[in-house]
């Protein structure tokens, strides 16, 4: 599928743009693969992360085969602000054509201990975005909300707030006919901050036991670039109200630990399930199957409200839930996947 130049000349706002996904997304937008934007604004509340991201991108001004940082310092702007703050978000939205909404509290245990904080960022933040676009008639054309497999049949606070965030964004299509709101939903990103693979690598480097919650535990795995591919697929091919879900491999977490340790014969210690944790993740629920179509490497969930769906006939793509318990990768396949996902992880694996 040839890349559309959807972002050519657009003013882009990335909320939560200093996060792992935000930084990879900005890097890929700057490569020009979706067209060269007029401006990219990173909106987040952490001035230190913004400072280091700015430095990082200023030092990447040499052209490489895959990334051309053409005028990246002129193109890239940073704004301090919190999605919980309606006025700060409104100021940032005033000059945006396309919004990638990645701001979130996403760590499962911290959301369990501070549930209302998760509600404030994940639910109220999305509502502020929707309200600001609707009330001010801003010229926003498209919004893509970044969600998670944990939003599907949620059992933890993070997933519950993300499920509500999805609904707030998708249902916003009714009140803002000029803007198209879509979501993407995906599983664990291999190299993102606080995720399991960097933790395993750190433990294995120091010859410490690798900790796994339960032997049965499985997760979907994808690289940051595959996550961004999903966002780009939604922005270029998605229709209003749709949720894009990538077809990605899943793994047993104990096998993942074995893949990381390689030749090192380190013990695996089972620690028991943590607050709010699922044994298997689901990316498309049984109930959502009936409104899910296939689009190349993706499943596309149509909106829950019938009036937001196209009247086109469609072919139902799934007959049962899309779960991480199915079709798990072997240990050697996992080593190949990990090696392609992240430079530091690749270096560690090649020495083992």
- SS3 string, 70-98, reads CCHHHHEEEEECCCCCHHHHHHHHCCCCE
Going from the C-alpha of 254 to that of each of 46, 141, 258, 261, the distances in angstroms are: 35, 44, 6, 11
User: Secondary structure of the chain: what % helix, strand, coil (to 5)?
Assistant: 40, 20, 40
Which residues are known catalytic residues? 150
Q: SS3 of 185, please?
A: strand
For 303: left if phi > 0, alpha if psi spans -120 to 50, otherwise beta; the answer is beta
Q: How far apart are the first and last CA of the chain?
A: 37
- Alpha helices for the chain (secondary structure H): 20-30, 47-58, 72-75, 86-93, 108-113, 115-118, 125-136, 157-171, 196-205, 224-237, 253-261, 331-341, 343-350
| CA atoms within a 13 Å half-sphere pointing along the CA-CB vector of 152 | 25
DSSP letter for 285, please.
Answer: -
Q: Which of 119, 128, 169, 115 is nearest to 146 (CA)?
A: 169
Nearest-5° Cα angle at 20, 154 to 303: 40
Contact 330, 255 (CB under 8 A): yes
């Amino acid at each position: 599928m040839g890349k559309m130049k959807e972002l050519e000349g657009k003013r882009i706002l990335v909320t939560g743009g200093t996060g792992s996904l935000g930084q990879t997304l900005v890097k890929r937008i700057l490569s020009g693969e979706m067209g060269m934007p007029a401006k990219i604004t990173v909106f987040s509340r952490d001035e230190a992360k913004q400072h280091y991201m700015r430095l990082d991108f200023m030092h990447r001004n040499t052209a490489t085969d895959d990334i051309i940082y053409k005028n990246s310092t002129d193109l890239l702007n940073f704004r301090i602000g919190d999605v919980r703050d309606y006025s700060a978000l409104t100021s940032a939205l005033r000059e945006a054509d396309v919004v990638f909404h990645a701001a979130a509290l996403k760590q499962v245990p911290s959301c369990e201990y501070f549930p209302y904080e998760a509600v404030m960022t994940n639910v109220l933040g999305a509502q502020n975005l929707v309200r600001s676009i609707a009330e001010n008639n801003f010229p926003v054309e498209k919004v893509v909300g970044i969600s998670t497999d944990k939003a599907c049949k949620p059992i933890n606070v993070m997933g519950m707030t993300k499920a509500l965030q999805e609904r707030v964004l998708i249902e916003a299509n009714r009140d803002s006919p000029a803007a198209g709101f879509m979501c993407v939903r995906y599983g664990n990103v291999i190299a993102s901050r606080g995720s399991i693979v960097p933790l395993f690598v750190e433990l294995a480097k120091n010859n410490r036991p690798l900790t796994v919650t339960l032997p049965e535990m499985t997760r979907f795995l994808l690289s940051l670039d595959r996550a961004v591919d999903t966002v780009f697929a939604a922005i270029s091919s998605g229709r209003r109200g749709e949720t894009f879900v990538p077809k990605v491999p899943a793994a047993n977490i104990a096998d993942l630990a074995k893949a990381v340790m390689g030749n090192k014969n380190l013990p695996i210690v089972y620690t028991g399930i943590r607050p709010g944790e699922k044994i298997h993740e689901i990316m498309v629920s049984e109930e959502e199957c009936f409104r899910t179509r296939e689009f190349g490497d993706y499943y596309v969930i149509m909106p829950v409200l019938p009036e937001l769906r196209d009247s086109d006939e469609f072919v139902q793509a799934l007959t049962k839930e899309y779960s991480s318990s199915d079709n798990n990768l072997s240990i050697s396949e996992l080593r190949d996947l990990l090696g392609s996902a992240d430079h530091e992880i690749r270096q560690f694996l090649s020495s083992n």
